[in-house]
Amino acid sequence: MATTLHDVAKLAGVSAKTVSNVVNDYPHIKAATKERVLAAIAELGYRPNLSARGLRSGRSGVISLIVPDLRNAYFAELADAVMRAAARRGLSLLIEQSGGGLAREADLLRGARLRAVDGVLYSALQLSDDDLAVIEDVSIPMVLLGERIFNAPNDHVTMRNTEGARAATEHLLSIGCRRVVAFGAHRGDLVSSASLRFAGYRAALEAAGLPVAPELVRDVAVWHRFDGAVAMREMLDEGLRFDGIVAFNDALALGAIRVLAERGIRMPEEVAVIGFDDIDEGRYSLPSLSTIAPGREQIASTAVDLLVERIESADDDARPARRVYADFQLVQRESTTR
């Protein structure tokens, strides 16, 4: 049975009218009361009657999240975090996948489906500053996510890719690694997660007085487990010597760990491995995966908050675009604990 407004009121210990006022964002509600109602909405998964609400406010109560690929665990977990953040604001979420293709990324911003939402959170893989016209033509509030399109007139929430990758590399150096692989490079990219993480890897080696050995920079075009496994098999078959791996995402690291285990290579004694993204699966791999937690919850909540601000002031908002970098944390687990 669907959760009702009265169910939310009972859990929050308030009247149904108070819940309605919170859902419709009426002013003059005590902060503590509003917080209690929003927590009840999130816990019960309550979804307001959007058609009735839209008739009153001119808004749908729905926002959109566009990500490249939900098969990538980071984006799946980001979508979950955004959905929970939206629910705390009394909003529903429509999720779209772009597949990371340039034409599809542009088409999703021109599609009729955007007319049904109040705003959009957008993570692009291919659109760049050369495609600003596509971004500028979007007529509803939009917040950008990720490492592309930094010169757009939109709020932008992203992670500290370079600093995080540098911390990961420094961690391996601190436990004695000296031949560390940059696993997942895209050496042709100018601005991307891969290029920013490679910059952090390079900075850590240079600070330690170590060269960036070309043979230890391993390009991997797609960042899935399968691709990490294939690339690791190739490295081992080539006879490449290395004692550490900075994988540019956790999925690549998990694929590599599988192959290292198959070949009887002890981790972390012979090869230490660290990833990036802190996806849930890394807690349960053998060995459990050390990683950089990029602040996914902070990214989701901040992006939703910025978008709601823009939606609520869409008719008169002259504030300049804001750029927010989430905090990161190095999470040490078995794959780097010597």
Q: What is the pLDDT of residues 206-254, one digit of tens each?
A: 999 999 999 999 999 999 999 999 999 999 999 999 999 999 999 999 9
Q: What is the pLDDT of the chain when averaged over all its residues?
A: 89
301-328 pLDDT, tens digit each: 999 999 999 998 866 666 788 999 999 9
- Domains of the chain with CATH codes: 5-46 (1.10.260.40), 59-157+296-326 (3.40.50.2300), 161-293 (3.40.50.2300)
pLDDT at 53 over 60: no
What are residue 94's DSSP bridge partners? 64
28, with CB counted inside 10 A (0-12, 13-18, 19+), is exposed
> 């419709």: which residue's tokens?
24
H-helix or E-strand spanning residue 106:
helix 102-108
Indicate the pTM of the whole model.
0.80
Position 250 scores a pLDDT of 98
Indicate the helix (H) or strand (E) that contains 126: none
DSSP state of 187: T
Instruction: Categorize the per-residue pLDDT at 51 as very low, low, confident or very high, splitting at 50, 70 and 90.
Output: very low
> What is the identity of the amino acid at 321?
A
Q: Convert 188-238 into a string of H (helix), E (strand) and C (coil).
A: CCCCCHHHHHHHHHHHHHHHCCCCCCHHHEEECCCCCHHHHHHHHHHHHHC
Predicted confidence (pLDDT) at residue 69 exceeds the cutoff of 80: yes
Distance CA 152, CA 164 (A): 24
End-to-end CA distance of the chain: 52
Task: Specify the pLDDT at position 20.
Answer: 74
> What pLDDT shows up at residue 56?
45
Backbone angles phi, psi at 29, to 5 degrees: -105, 135
Place of tokens 């459990």: 288
Residue 58 has pLDDT above 70, yes or no: no
In this prediction, residues 277-290 reach a mean pLDDT of: 97
CB of 162 closer than 8 Å to CB of 149? no
Q: What is the pLDDT of residues 121-167, one digit of tens each?
A: 999 888 877 777 888 888 889 999 988 777 788 999 999 999 999 99
Per-residue pLDDT of 107-122, as tens digits, reads 888 766 677 889 999 9
For 27-61, the DSSP string reads: SS--HHHHHHHHHHHHHHT----HHHHHHHHS--S
Q: b/e map of 6-23 (b: 16 or more CB within 10 Å)? A: ebbbebbebeeebbbbbb
Hey, what long-range contacts does 240-243 have (CB within 8 A, 24 or more apart)? 240/181, 240/215, 240/216, 241/179, 242/179, 242/180, 242/181, 242/216, 242/271, 243/176, 243/177, 243/178, 243/179, 243/180, 243/270, 243/271, 243/272
3-state secondary structure (DSSP) of residue 276:
coil
What is the structure's pLDDT at 195? 94
Question: In the numeric block, which tokens belong to residue 135?
Answer: 């971004």
The answer to whether the beta carbons of residues 286 and 261 sit under 8 Å apart is yes
Q: What is the pLDDT of residue 9?
A: 87
pLDDT at 83 > cutoff 50: yes
**What is the spatial distance between Cα 108 and Cα 326, in angstroms, rounded to a whole number?**
26
Mean pLDDT lowest for which of 1-5, 74-78, 325-329? Answer: 1-5
> Sheet holding 272-274: strands in order across?
217-219, 180-185, 244-247, 272-274
pLDDT category of residue 48 using cuts at 50, 70 and 90: low
Lowest mean pLDDT, pick from 76-85, 136-145, 215-224, 290-299: 136-145
pLDDT tens column, 164-215: 999 999 999 999 999 999 999 999 887 789 999 999 999 999 999 999 999 9
